[in-house]
Structure 1
Amino acid sequence: MIITVPDIIGLVGVACVVVTYFLTQVGRMSPNEPLYPAINAIGALMILVSLYYRPNPSSVVIEFFWLVISVVGLVRALGKRSR
């Protein structure tokens, strides 16, 4: 198996999502801070880039929703910050 640039982008995206989830579970990152949804959105976007080159419909759907939900969370977190 040859690892391509899109594969590496996708793997970095997976690392972003998994690490942020782990850090919230061990109390090292707050899901209410803008950094959490921002990193999740970046991770989902990177995974979607890799899926563009090797499509999998189910994965595209879940990552699309992950990205949308992360953007909603980011907007909410930034809104709370500005108050």
Structure 2
Amino acid sequence: MLFELTFIDWVGIVGSFVIAGAYLAVSRVWVSAERPAFHLINLGGALMILVSLWYRPNAGAILIELLWIGIALLSLLRWARRR
């Protein structure tokens, strides 16, 4: 199975690790959830997963990634407005 994964599958897998890494970074207080870095990392991970879902669609997974993208963009917009 490991060798059956395509490049696009690996993009989604890396995206999952990116999102989990962002959560770990906030949980360990390495990154503040109030700063744009956390939201940019989540946005990047969600986009990577969404790209992989373009090739292997799954409605539920697409929806959650679109929600994560929306949350990240709204948070970044809120941060930019406060500056």
Unaligned runs of 5+ in 1: none
- The match for 1:16 among 15, 18, 22 is 18
Counterpart of 2:71 in structure 1 is 69
Q: Matches of 1:44 and 1:69 in 2, distance apart? A: 11
Question: Over aligned residues, Cα RMSD in angstroms?
Answer: 1.0
Q: Matches of 1:79 and 1:28 in 2, distance apart? A: 24
SS in 2 for 1:49: helix
Q: TM-score, structure 2 length as denominator?
A: 0.91
Q: Matches of 1:35 and 1:12 in 2, distance apart? A: 18
The code of the aligned residue for 2:36 comes to P
Task: Tell me the alpha carbon deviations over residues 29-73 of structure 1, each in whole angstroms, 9 at most, x when there is no partner.
Answer: 100101110110111010000011111110000111111111111
Q: Which runs of 4+ in 1 moved over 6 A?
A: none
Unaligned runs of 5+ in 2: none
SS in 1 for 2:34: coil
Matched, 1:3 2:5: yes
The code of the aligned residue for 1:64 comes to L
Q: TM-score, structure 1 length as denominator?
A: 0.91
- The match for 1:27 among 26, 29, 33 is 29
Q: How many residues align?
A: 81
